[in-house]
Amino acid sequence: MPCCPKTSQANSLISSSNSLNQQFLGQQQQIGNLLLPQFQSILNNPGLSPSDKAAVTGQSQGALASAFDALQQSAQNRLARTRNSAGFSELADELARQKGIAEGNQVQRNQLAFTNTAFQRQMAALQGLSGLFGIDTNLLGRTLGIPAELLNARANASRNTGGFFSALGSGLGSSLAALPSALF
């Protein structure tokens, strides 16, 4: 019976392989159970907290105020040194006007940065979920109502992950992308 030892070895290898696969599956499920709520939390609350936004806004507005206060103080020192008030009120008005413009621009930059941070965190959470479940990020984003243009759809669709959902997402993405040109 020369077949039996080989069959026995094959069965042993299959058994150890199955055991190892079960261990890997258990570890993957543990990691998934740990990471899933964290990714979902980031996805549901991607932006900065109100206190963080207030801190960033306060810091940037404080820096602007400091710079303009220094300019105002310099103008007052010049007035005191020369004892010539000609043009001081116009300069003070111009400084106030420029300070208001700079503060408005800074608020706009802060809001853009807050929005970008939220978007980047949301995309990172989508990528994390995609990694956990092997789902194409493009398909997951569409499910959540995020436009494909924001997901770098071409880059994600061209990446071959080999899964059914990836292929399905790529196919749907291509089909849906062609619809606007067909309709209009």
Domain boundaries, the chain: 48-118, 134-184
Q: Is the pLDDT of residue 169 over 80?
A: no
The pLDDT > 90 percentage for the chain reads: 14
Residues 6+ apart with CB under 8 A from 42: 121, 122, 124, 125, 128
Alpha carbon distance 61, 44 (integer Å) = 29
pLDDT score at 93: 92
Sequence-distant (≥ 6) Cβ neighbours of residue 114 within 8 angstroms: 47, 48, 53, 56
CA distances from 53 to 34, 100, 111, 132, 139 (A): 28, 20, 9, 31, 31
Between residues 154 and 78, which one has the greater pLDDT? 78
CA 170 – CA 66 distance, rounded (Å) = 53
**Is the full-model pTM beyond 0.75?**
no
